[in-house]
Amino acid sequence: MIDRRRVKVLFDEATIARRNEEIAREIAASEPKDLLVVAILKGSFMFAADLIRAMHRSGLAPQVEFMHLSSYRAATVSSGQVAILRDVDSEVRDRDVLLVDDILESGRTIAFAKDLLAARGARVSTCVLLEKPGKRAVSVKPDFVGFVCPDLFVVGYGMDVAHSFRELPFIGVVEKDGDATPPND
């Protein structure tokens, strides 16, 4: 087990909260119609919950659904193939759908979800908490971005390593012997 005291804060709780409010105002300014927020599980759950509350404060009243997608399964490196573990129940045809995810890295997961929902007739936009632009494997550009993130393995605010650290109210990097952990491959 990794000692929680060895997690270096990258984005603190107050910074994340301010950015969520800003993103919500940006989304509201786009004047979505019949908005459905689709949170991609598991990592986005905290971000999605806080963002949806901020959207409410910005005058929006979205419905909410969840998708559980995986390209990792039991591995630590993406297989490159995205599997649907849980799909949305709602009809998406002719609706504005906002896909919410924790990290945009390779882009495979969010591109897969966007294409799937667009094929079902939705007008899809994307929102990610963190963008790591250096590892893009597919061409996808998010509509709303919380933060551009350095190429480090991050935890907290819903993101984990071996099912730990999701509960942290900030985004951090686990340090080893005084150094941050290396980037994901």
Q: What is the pLDDT of residues 28-43, one digit of tens each?
A: 999 999 999 999 999 9
What count of other Cβ atoms lies within 10 Å of the Cβ of residue 147?
15
Q: Give the percent of the chain with pLDDT over 70.
A: 87
Angle at 112 between CA 106 and CA 116, to 5 degrees: 165
- Each residue of 63-105: pLDDT tens digit? 999 999 876 555 445 557 888 999 999 999 999 999 999 999 9
Determine the pLDDT at residue 78. Answer: 52
Between 73 and 171, the more confident residue is 171
* Buried-state track 49-81, b at ≥16 Cβ within 10 A, e below 16: ebbbebbeebebebebbbbebbbeeeeeebeee
Q: What is the mean pLDDT of residues 131-146?
A: 93
Determine the pLDDT at residue 177. Answer: 59
CA dihedral 55, 61, 66, 69 (to 10 degrees): -50
Determine the pLDDT at residue 27. Answer: 98
Determine the pLDDT at residue 56. Answer: 98
> Which region among 13-17, 38-42, 105-109 has the lowest average model confidence (pLDDT)?
105-109
Q: Is the pLDDT of residue 26 over 50?
A: yes
Between 81 and 52, the more confident residue is 52
Residue 178: band (very low, low, confident or very high) from pLDDT cuts 50, 70, 90: very low
Topology of domain 13-71+84-150 in CATH is Rossmann fold (3.40.50)
Q: Is the pLDDT of residue 167 over 70?
A: yes
Q: Is the pLDDT of residue 11 over 70?
A: yes
For tokens 């804060």, name the residue: 9
- Of the candidates 123, 127, 55, 64, the one whose C-alpha atom is nearest the C-alpha of residue 95 is 123
The overall average pLDDT reported for the chain is: 89
